[in-house]
Amino acid sequence: MTTIEQIREKLDEIIVPHVIRSIGGLNLIRDISLKDGSVSISLASTALDEASQAWLKDKVTESLKALKDIKQVEITFSDAKPVDLNRIKNVIAVMSGKGGVGKSLVTSLTAIGLRRKGFEVGILDADITGPSIPKMFGIKDRPGGNEQGLLPVTSKSGIEIMSINLLLPEEDEAVIWRGPLIGKAITQFWEDVVWGNLDYMIVDLPPGTADAPLTVMQTLPISGVIIVFTPQDLTAMIVRKAVKMAQQMNKKVLGVVENMSYLYLKDFDKRIDLFGKSKGEEMAAASNAPLLGQIPVDPDLAAMCDEGHIERYQSDFIDSIGDALTAVKN
């Protein structure tokens, strides 16, 4: 006899159009009932246009009829708010005391590292006025969806991404928005996007410790913060400022990441401390949080970011960040 569990497994194999996630992964299954070989399934219609709904209906019917003893399949669609479908276990914000230190880079590499460990991962690009995530991932597709909600765009390795850049008419259009509007956009990225089931959402915060990152931290249910710095930061003060801000908002500092830590010359197998001695341990002590990783200056990495191929990058940081984050939580 076919069981509801087997039906769920079958549904999990079906990929939703426009976003490379399964029906189960997006948490679209509202109800399943099974009686005398007849299955009724209720799916959320959220963010699915008519063509996608029709396609899913056919696909689900066909795949379930292949199961033993299933004679009849009935599929209905019902409205649901995206926010009610979303189950996001960890929301991690990446911040820094000042701009241009590699926040977006650390956001991306962290997401890639977690994804390579097999986690379901999303990136919410909360840097509304300077969004840079889609470029690093080479994403040009527009998000799918309908009036009820938006679908994130899926990267090549399966990371869900939402950024204001994906919604603007022209990619390099400048966004000049005031605080309240930025807050509204962030709220919508949280409430109106069908993220589905995610193990991790990594949030790329706007630079600095001024209003914009504060707004985001207040708007999203952030469970922990990663702070990025470079050895160029002359004192621990800038990092402390970021730590203080996180603490004031009652957010746990998961750890610090040192970017542009050193230069590695592959051909000579030589490490050069470009900006003086690494401040990793010092900053970690100042933050009262672990040093999660150090990222060298790497021209290959810069090129991959520019060309939209960041997911091809191999590095110690990518390999270790998943375990480093899991270690903090336990």
Quote the least distance from Cβ 138 to ligand ATP, whole Å: 13
CB atoms within 10 A of CB 44: 23
Which of 86, 96, 104, 165 is the binder for Mg ion (CB under 5 A)?
104
Name which of residues 259 to 298 contact ligand ATP (CB under 6 A).
259-260, 295, 297-298
Helix (H, G, I), strand (E, B) or coil at 47: coil
Quote the least distance from Cβ 275 to ligand ATP, whole Å: 11
Q: What is the C-alpha separation between 216 and 221, in angstroms, rounded?
A: 9
As a three-state string, the secondary structure of 72-113 is EEEEEEECCCHHHHCEEEEEEEEEECCCCCCHHHHHHHHHHH
Helix (H, G, I), strand (E, B) or coil at 257: strand
Quote the least distance from Cβ 127 to ligand ATP, whole Å: 5
Interaction between residue 163 and Mg ion (CB under 5 A): no
Structure tokens at 290: 């672990």
Part in contact with ligand ATP (CB under 6 A); list of ranges 39-47, 93-101, 185-193, 233-241: 93-101
Which residue sits closest to Mg ion, CB atoms considered? 104
Please say which residue, 151 or 202, places its beta carbon nearer to ligand ATP. Answer: 202
With tokens 């022209």, the residue in question is 170
Minimal CA–CA distance to 230: which of 271, 290, 277? 277
Which of 164, 222, 301, 318 is the binder for ligand ATP (CB under 6 A)?
301
- Evaluated on CA atoms 90, 116, 326, 258, the torsion sign reads negative
CB–CB of 23/12 below 8 Å? yes
Part in contact with ligand ATP (CB under 6 A); list of ranges 82-90, 92-100, 176-184, 243-251: 92-100
Minimal CA–CA distance to 60: which of 104, 25, 12? 12
Q: Residue 105's binding partner, choosing from Mg ion, ligand ATP, none, with beta-carbon cut-off 5 to 8 A by kind?
A: ligand ATP
Part in contact with Mg ion (CB under 5 A); list of ranges 125-133, 142-150, 163-171, 172-180: 125-133
Part in contact with ligand ATP (CB under 6 A); list of ranges 77-85, 266-274, 300-308, 318-326: 300-308
Interaction between residue 259 and Mg ion (CB under 5 A): no
Left, alpha or beta for 257 (phi > 0: left; psi -120 to 50: alpha)?
beta
Minimal CA–CA distance to 21: which of 190, 199, 191, 197? 197
Residue 85 contacts by C-beta under 8 Å, 6 or more apart in sequence? 26, 27, 28, 44, 46, 194, 196
What residues are paired with 255 via a beta bridge?
226
Please say which residue, 286 or 297, places its beta carbon nearer to ligand ATP. Answer: 297
Part in contact with Mg ion (CB under 5 A); list of ranges 33-41, 99-107, 224-232, 236-244: 99-107
Interaction between residue 7 and ligand ATP (CB under 6 A): no
Quote the least distance from Cβ 92 to ligand ATP, whole Å: 15
Interaction between residue 207 and ligand ATP (CB under 6 A): yes
Residues forming the site for Mg ion (CB under 5 A): 103-104, 132
Residues forming the site for ligand ATP (CB under 6 A): 96, 99-105, 127, 130, 132, 207, 259-260, 295, 297-298, 301-302, 305
